Structure 1
């Protein structure tokens, strides 16, 4: 604004000066020209001076105007014409030089500081130096993710134009010439940034390049850090992996973020969620560049600061038990389809504060695979159906039919609304057609359970007992002329966070689904006849089948709610420690909800769950083999019926029964019966969690990622067993 005003003033002054000069020149020219014209007075004056009248008369007759001094004046006013031309030319020249003078003054005086600053900015360029990421530890200080040194050959941008140097680098490093050239042509890290030619270079090759530096101008060797995973694929889905920043990452980066092209950022797991904590602060390398953008010299350099360390709630020994047990069950030979089931997930949570002690999903992957970028072939393999999607965290993002694990919550609904109580009994004959529709629904035990009370219905997982409960809810609904809400049964399950995200600090958590009449109508909007809510929808839902979808994490949180009466928010962060190893952030437990459930009803469901393991020979054996008394366990099995595949096995438990500490949920895709397949896994994992809680050292070893290999799986197809 100030510069514009100054330019205006200077322009006005220059224009005024030009006009003044033009007027002065014109006045000067007029004053220097005297013209004598004929008149009687003049002639009389001349005669008085005794000048011959003849000469005057001759002049008059000759048609010339008498003059006093000077040469004859040209006829027709030619002097006036030339003067006007000179005046215009002078004015034009003055205008041009005035404008140039004004512009020069503006550049040299008014805007000199701005131009000087721009020149310096063109001359000096700041290049960011990536910072080492912080470590990730388990709750006991075991390093799950570290950094390791990597001898890295880097080159200045202009080396890309030197074919001889590229050929030498290719020969020494054993990298194809085209690859070397492509890496040096990559500007994703900035035009003046040094380009990575190769990482993890051998000492022999580093020594050769260093000793023959004259043959490698612009090439240096740096000791950089890359992610290291001491235990391979251990807790891979929780930890996640890192990768080079993308254009989308830059668009979505939060304010005050230092993310720049060329950085490694978290892409999944806690690496993604806590990326800003782990990332650290960039170093700065100030370089001088010439007019062509070539780096002339390094002016200054500040070292980067390593990111803060992340301490998780995981216990490495329990996590190893989870990962190893799933792998041994599903792919004992490393090939999916050679064991039992094709995929699975396990969650272990501390019911006291929501800490996730272990979380496993199989098939899994090795985060190291993503170091330096993943090849398209590997990515395609991991994304294929034949590999069973090892990148999917089934514990949080896999949605499944809840099967009989849902009965604990629909049972609480029945107790609340009077469709069940401690004294009521039901008779199971193995089949049920309460709606008199001819569409007979079967109990998993085809021969029937006989007469059962509410506890017996849960202990033996009798479907007929719960069909009767659903029948009562359906006809008590307002749509059938009753006074009860049509979603009264669903509302009790929703209290335990089904159909909602738990809020765990991991990305892409699935919400699951609790079906309602409104949901069904919307889902079948294009086929309204299919969107009608029927009694069969409720009898399917009450046993966790039909359209019910839950995640293993939701089941763990919900059973933790039964154990304690409170639903704790699950979390993985224990604390963040800064460079001085001081706790900068510590997680505070958060209660998600305290369901409005009477102590009497909660106690009744707890007693029923406590009776499941002693009543099941398979479960009793599994817990005793792990050194646990079945009577100290509260648990529930489930078998989700599938149409085109084997049934899915479920198991949920918490212990100790009298003073709950841990809850475990297990799912095995195509695993068959819950008690036979998922139960033994739950028993082994619970034993490991309790042992770790007592301070017993557990084994921690390396876990291998899935190879992606699989064969066609053929299960027993024995049908539901619980």
Structure 2
């Protein structure tokens, strides 16, 4: 038993409690003081520092979907390239901001050090291209054309290249299967802009700074479906850019594939034949100028007549869309957009406007019937027609006596249409109209001219129907200039300006007469005329032309078909349609196109055609050829190319022969036929993304082709 008194033991316990209490209170006081120091005295300083700790995103781009032809052949896809990238964050940590590393990298890549440094600098309002407009925390591509040897040097000498990576990456590719370039239809990609990011911020498909977006063609129309969803990894970083944690990571989702109605084999034929027709036209002499035809541009459209689906679409001059991959150089950009380039980026099938010439007469024939003229009535076809002292010549000044409207279509007699149009102008009140019916202008609008067809390609133009309203608007915009320039009895241009100043807002007799044969101020596009001739073929339905056929998910499980849509019907009854159809068949068998279609199997594959040669002030004539069978419509035009049957006719026939497997004698070999009938099925895409696509060989035109048979007797007018 302890000898320590009870009172002593109690005192000792109390002392210990007091000490503990003092220690506790001291600690609390110290903690409180520290909290006061941090939160009150220096609170703003630490708040500011904390604000500098934020989240940065590193984007893993989604694999862009492919654009396929109707059989599954890729026309735009992706290929794996060795991409060398630089981490700007790592470079900025170095004493020299990474200049030494960039110099070593430039040496390995056979580039100039300045070019490499320019690649990794950040874009702003004062920094010209090239520069990086994405996140500074994103690996910045320096080149996507590194060789295996260059990549190995970088990876094996990692200590010499801190912050530099060389990795295989998916890059856009336009393989031109079978030499089918299809450039204006496909379009191209380029980096997203700040303005586009801002506009899309609150939409269901916002852009990331690393995104490449479609700039034209199908790449633009179906950009949202093709783009997919990028993968994003979010890192917490401090104010020095050092990673202090990983917040969240979302995997990239590949884009969908767009299946088109284009057949790459037919596309290759169309491109080849258009180019050859232009080269052949340049060898021909223009009798009006005494020089060779310039044939400086052209376009061709091949379309399914019963659906409006585009099988091929070519435009000349053309370009290689691969020039845009990885960023276009200043030299290439100037070559594609300069004045001497003749603007190859234009898709002249939907953006090229020209007077249609005689292929417009199917519109005028319908207008005449709707105005009360009998299709099979007799109308004079003299060699010329006079209006107000001005003489309008028939082509080659040839007369055919009294003929029907059908025969006028067949031989392309201008003066029949001059006479009917002049009568209608007088019925409408001449220069002082009160309630004009304007059958010729109204009918053209009902055919869909003067507005877009609705094709699923961007930047389609409307063409022009020079009706009374257009005349007034055009006069108001040009009156002052005309009045300054005009001179009575002066040059041709001065006389036109003088007349325009006085009465440019009025519909004159000469305007109506000239308009009736597709001349004057009328402008159309090849896609508009292909839509019209397809409608005549299918019984009267005007379809919106369409290139996209289906959107199929990357794994092939989800299929969204793009159904053809109609925007109206031709303003003609079945009887008139059949009469025009019969007249257009006669054009190919005994009319203005017959000399180009000798030996054609008309009994098996009925051919219908219309030639056109449009006059353009200050230029050589524009060649037009519009045609259709029961399955397809083909329209070709060549600017400054000469006559319709002379320049465009042979090329159109060659395209048909390749599609149907025909030789010049009309014999058909289905084994050689590229597309004897429209394709209805879709290509199959496997769950792993593989596409069942057949091999395709470049188009080889027949060697030493036999000349087409020329019908006996004198050739009809070669419009």
Say yes or no: TM over 0.5: yes
User: Which residue matches 2:627?
Assistant: 653
Please, which moves more after superposition, 360-369 or 586-595? Answer: 586-595
Question: Are 2:29 and 1:122 aligned?
Answer: no
User: Displacement of 1:258 after TM fit?
Assistant: 3.5
Partners of 1:406 and 1:667 in 2: CA distance: 13
Write the distance in 2 (CA, Å) between the matches of 1:333 and 1:441: 27
Match of 2:23 in 1: none
For structure 2, which runs of at least 5 residues remain unmatched after alignment? 1-31, 123-131, 285-290, 480-500, 661-672, 680-693, 701-716
Q: 2:298 aligns with which of 344, 358, 365?
A: 344
* Equivalent residue for 1:184, pick from 120, 132, 140: 120
- Counterpart residue number, 2:337: 383
**Equivalences for residues 124-273 of structure 1 within 5 A:** 124-158=55-89, 159=91, 161-186=97-122, 187-231=132-176, 234-253=181-200, 255-273=203-221
Change (3 A) 1:375 1:634: same
How many residues are paired up? 597
Whether the aligned pair in 1 keeps the contact of 2:411 and 2:592 (CA below 8 Å) is no
> Match of 1:632, SS?
coil
Aligned-partner Cα distance in 2 for 1:461–1:385:
37
* Structure 2 equivalent of residue 590 of structure 1: 565
Taking a change above 3 Å as real, the CA distance of residues 212 and 565 of structure 1, as seen in their structure-2 partners, is same
Going from structure 1 to structure 2, the CA distance change for 1:205 and 1:693 (only over 3 Å counts) comes to: closer
Rate the CA distance shift 1:349–1:631 in 2: closer, same or farther, 3 A.
closer
1:407 CA drift (Å): 0.5
Give me the whole-angstrom Cα distance separating, in 1, the residues matched to 2:579 and 2:433: 27
Equivalent residue number for residue 382 of structure 2: 429
1:366 equivalent in alignment to 2:298: no
Give, in angstroms, the shift of residue 289 of structure 1.
Answer: 2.9
Q: Distance in 1 between matches of 2:38 and 2:164?
A: 46
Match of 2:127 in 1: none
User: CA offset at residue 153 of structure 1?
Assistant: 1.1
Please give the alpha-carbon distance, in whole angstroms, between the structure 2 residues aligned to 1:107 and 1:349: 75
Q: Deviations over 1:539-573 (max 9, x none)?
A: 01100000110000000001112122111111111
Are the structure 2 counterparts of residues 308 and 325 from structure 1 closer, same or farther at C-alpha, using a change threshold of 3 Å?
A: same
Q: Secondary structure at the match of 1:672?
A: coil
Q: Contact 1:624/1:630 (CA < 8 Å) preserved in 2?
A: no
Contact 1:662 1:689 in 2 (8 A): no
Give the Cα–Cα distance (whole angstroms) in 1 for the partners of residues 404 and 367 of structure 2: 16
Following the alignment from structure 1 to structure 2, what is the Cα–Cα distance between the partners of residues 399 and 216?
55
Measure how far apart 1:491 and its partner are.
Answer: 1.0
Aligned pair partner of 1:487 in 428, 432, 438? 438
Matched residue, 1:679: 649
Partner of 1:546 in structure 2?
Answer: 520
Matches within 5 A, 1:306-317: 306-317=254-265
What pairs with 1:30-179 in structure 2 (closer than 5 Å)?
104=39, 119=50, 122-158=53-89, 159=91, 161-179=97-115
| 1:316-355 paired onto structure 2 within 5 Å | 316-331=264-279, 341-355=295-309
* 1:670–1:634 CA distance, 2 compared to 1 (3 A): same
Structure 1: how far apart are the matches of 2:367 and 2:330? 50
Pairing 1:505–2:441 present: no
Deviation of 1:300 after TM superposition, in Å, equals: 6.6
Q: Within 2, Cα distance between the matches of 1:461 and 1:451?
A: 14
Query: Is residue 135–residue 278 contact of structure 1 (8 Å, CA) maintained in 2?
Result: yes
Match for residue 635 of structure 2?
Answer: 665
Is the alpha carbon distance of 1:340 and 1:687 closer, same or farther for their aligned partners in structure 2, counting shifts above 3 Å? farther
- Tell me if structure 2 keeps the 8 A contact 1:504–1:572: yes
Residues 565 and 107 of structure 1: is their aligned pair in 2 closer, same or farther, counting only changes over 3 Å? farther
**SS of residue paired to 1:345:** strand
CA change 1:314–1:202 in 2 (3 A) is same
1:450 correspondence with 2:425: no
Structure 1 residues 521 and 258: CA distance shift in structure 2, 3 A: closer
**Distance of 1:647 and 1:673 partners within structure 2:** 7
The answer as to whether partners of 2:227 and 2:254 remain within 8 angstroms in 1 is yes
Question: For the Cα contact (< 8 Å) 1:445–1:721, is it kept in 2?
Answer: no
2:524 counterpart of 1:577: no
Please give the TM-score of this superposition, normalised by the length of structure 2. Answer: 0.77
Distance in 2 (CA, whole Å) between partners of 1:289 and 1:702 is 57
Question: Could you give the per-residue CA deviations for residues 657-682 of structure 1, whole angstroms, max 9, x where no partner exists?
Answer: xxx22111110111101011111122
Q: Does 1:693 align with 2:656?
A: no
Query: Do the aligned partners of 1:329 and 1:339 also contact (CA within 8 Å) in 2?
Result: no
Q: Distance in 1 between matches of 2:219 and 2:41?
A: 54
Contact 2:431–2:508 (8 Å) recurs in 1: no
Q: Assess if the C-alpha contact under 8 Å between 1:317 and 1:698 holds in 2.
A: no
**Structure 1 pair 107–661 and aligned structure 2 pair: CA distance change class (3 A):** farther
CA 298–472 in structure 1, closer or farther in 2 if over 3 Å, else same: same
Q: Which residue of 2 aligns with 1:642?
A: 616
Question: Highest CA radius of gyration, 1 or 2?
Answer: 1
Q: Give deviations 1:329-379, integer Å, cap 9, x for gaps.
A: 324899999987221101111121111111110111111011112222222
- Distance change >3 Å, CA 640–CA 333, structure 1 → 2: closer
In structure 1, the partner of 2:422 is 471
Q: Alpha carbons of 1:293 and 1:540: their partners in 2 closer, same or farther (altered >3 Å)?
A: same
**Given the two structures, how large is their TM-score scaled by the length of structure 1?**
0.77
Q: Tell me if structure 2 keeps the 8 A contact 1:505–1:571.
A: yes
Distance 2:144 2:368 in 1: 63
Deviations 1:211-249 (A, max 9, x none): 111111111122111111221662111111111222343
- Which residue number corresponds to residue 604 of structure 1? 579
Query: How far 1:164 moved relative to its partner?
Result: 1.7
Contact 1:459 1:612 in 2 (8 A): yes
Name the CA shift for 1:463/1:617 in 2 (closer, same or farther; >3 Å): closer
What is the CA–CA distance in structure 1 between the aligned matches of 2:225 and 2:368, rounded to whole Å?
47
**What SS does the corresponding residue of 2:463 show, helix, strand or coil?**
coil
The answer for the alignment partner of 1:567 in structure 2 is 542
Deviations 1:120-149 (Å, cap 9, x if unpaired)? 982442222211210110111111111001
Change beyond 3 A, Cα 1:274–1:631: closer
Task: Report the secondary structure of 1:348's partner residue.
Answer: strand
Q: How far, CA to CA, are the matches of 1:614 and 1:580 in structure 2?
A: 50
Cα–Cα, structure 1 residues 381 and 197, in superposed 2: closer, same or farther, change >3 Å? Answer: closer
CA deviation vs aligned residue, 1:425-465 (integer Å, no higher than 9, x gap): 223331111x3x22111011313222222111110010100
Maintained 8 Å contact 1:476/1:484: no
Distance 2:281 2:211 in 1: 38
RMSD (Å), alpha carbons: 3.3
Please state if 1:404 is matched with 2:358: yes
C-alpha distance in 2 between matches for 1:551 and 1:241: 23
